[in-house]
Amino acid sequence: MSVGGATEAEGNLQPASREVGRAWGVAPPPLGVHAYFTCFKGIVWREVLRYLHQRERFLSALVRPLVWLFIFAAGFRQTLGVSIIPPYETYILYEVFITPGLIGMIQLFNAMQSSLSMVYDRETGAMRTLLVSPFPRSFLLLSKLVGGVAVSLLQVYTFLLVAYFWEIEPPLFGYLTVLPALILSGLMLGSMALFMSSVIRQLENFAGVMNFVIFPMFFASSALYPLWRIKESSVLLYQICQFNPFTHAVELIRFALYGQVNWTSLAIVLAFTAVFLGGAIYAYNPSKGLIARRGGPGGS
């Protein structure tokens, strides 16, 4: 083959024939920014479309926190009073206090749903197609993670719209300032779920893992009650809540709704995001991670 022919073959080489190209001594073409953007957009849009086509998932994501808001909060309003604590500058209703916790609940359950889809894709073999593409594995997992966060943002803002008509009205700028906090908390919870999906062997085991992870994280946090009240009843439980990353995700959202930053919670959320995401990338490594011990991306 002439030099010109080799150049033409190199330019037209498709990702599926990269190994063949290497065998013939033709270097694979580098992946450009446009290729990365196209791949990223495709993965994120797939997650959004999957969510929009599953109406029962949309309804369940709203019904669960709304039941807590309309029934649970109304029943405990007089029992669980909330004193003036940051970021609040006056006494507030109990419904107002638990709203950030219910937002965290939405993101937590959405992260677990994304984990469920990863397990399903592994069982059906769809994950194998994704992970053998020429793009870096870390980029593919991060794109999948961002798609899950995008879905959680749709759920959260729909919930905030319903809560607004229930007279739960943070400052108007709070709807904008909370967005970075929602993205960070969604990335942390999604990274945790992504790592968990590498551990779950079968789809049938998912429900048990959800109960083992979701409910302890949710109840041992500041989602439903202030930490100072927990400390009054049990110092040990208070310390557990302090080490719970979900607590800091809720507090980050709580402060952001009022245009403030809880720097401690921000640092902890960023640290746990890095740990969980690094663990997920390692776990999905075909030569070193947990997936390799079960026979590759297909999970066989």
Q: Which region among 13-27, 32-46, 66-80, 282-296 has the lowest average model confidence (pLDDT)?
A: 13-27
Mean per-residue pLDDT, 2-29 = 44
153 assigned to some structural domain = yes
Range among 125-129, 268-272, 278-282 with highest mean pLDDT value? 268-272
214 assigned to some structural domain = yes
- What pLDDT is stored for residue 291 in this prediction? 53
- What pLDDT is stored for residue 17 in this prediction? 42
Based on the domain organization, do 285 and 231 belong to the same domain?
A: yes
- What pLDDT is stored for residue 272 in this prediction? 95
- Number of independent structural domains in the chain: 2
79 assigned to some structural domain = yes
80 confidence band (pLDDT: 50, 70, 90): low
Residue 21 has pLDDT above 60, yes or no: no
Based on the domain organization, do 105 and 125 belong to the same domain?
A: yes
227 assigned to some structural domain = yes
Based on the domain organization, do 21 and 118 belong to the same domain?
A: no
Residue 12 has pLDDT above 90, yes or no: no
78 CB-contact burial (10 Å; exposed 0-12 / middle 13-18 / buried 19+): exposed
C-alpha distances (whole Å) from 180 to each of 100, 177, 211, 256, 274 are: 14, 7, 28, 8, 16
300 assigned to some structural domain = no
- What pLDDT is stored for residue 16 in this prediction? 43
Distance separating alpha carbons of residues 277 and 256, to the nearest angstrom: 23
Based on the domain organization, do 183 and 81 belong to the same domain?
A: yes
Residue 67 has pLDDT above 50, yes or no: yes
CB 150 within 8 A of CB 48: yes
Distance separating alpha carbons of residues 30 and 134, to the nearest angstrom: 10
Q: What angle, 0 to 180 degrees and rounded to 10, lies between the N-to-C axes of helices 245-256 and 263-283?
A: 130
Give pLDDT tens digits for 25-38.
455 566 778 888 88
Based on the domain organization, do 74 and 170 belong to the same domain?
A: yes
Give 3-state DSSP helix, strand, coil % of the chain, rounded to 5.
75, 0, 25
Based on the domain organization, do 138 and 76 belong to the same domain?
A: yes
**182 vs 118: which has the higher pLDDT:** 182
DSSP 163-212: HHTTT----TTHHHHHHHHHHHHHHHHHHHHHHHHHH--SGGGHHHHHHH
Q: Tokens 């400052």 belong to which residue?
A: 171
CB 195 within 8 A of CB 283: yes
CA dihedral 263, 265, 271, 272 (to 10 degrees): -170
Based on the domain organization, do 151 and 6 belong to the same domain?
A: no
Give pLDDT tens digits for 241-257.
999 999 999 999 999 99
126 confidence band (pLDDT: 50, 70, 90): low
131 assigned to some structural domain = yes
**Mean pLDDT, rounded, of the chain:** 79
Query: How much of the chain, in percent, has pLDDT values that exceed 70?
Result: 76
299 assigned to some structural domain = no
Distance separating alpha carbons of residues 165 and 186, to the nearest angstrom: 25
Based on the domain organization, do 60 and 182 belong to the same domain?
A: yes
Distance separating alpha carbons of residues 243 and 233, to the nearest angstrom: 17
**129 vs 238: which has the higher pLDDT:** 238
Structural domain including 18 reads 1-30
Distance separating alpha carbons of residues 195 and 277, to the nearest angstrom: 7
Long-range contacts of the stretch 282-286 (C-beta < 8 A, 24+): 283/195, 283/198, 283/199, 284/131, 284/137, 284/141, 284/198, 285/137, 286/131, 286/137
Based on the domain organization, do 18 and 44 belong to the same domain?
A: no
Based on the domain organization, do 10 and 62 belong to the same domain?
A: no
Residue 116 has pLDDT above 50, yes or no: yes
CB 282 within 8 A of CB 289: yes
In a 3-state reduction of DSSP, which class is residue 92?
strand
Residue 296 has pLDDT above 60, yes or no: no
- What pLDDT is stored for residue 184 in this prediction? 96
Based on the domain organization, do 25 and 47 belong to the same domain?
A: no
Based on the domain organization, do 89 and 142 belong to the same domain?
A: yes
Distance separating alpha carbons of residues 116 and 166, to the nearest angstrom: 32
Give pLDDT tens digits for 160-210.
999 988 878 888 999 999 999 999 999 999 999 888 877 776 666 666 777
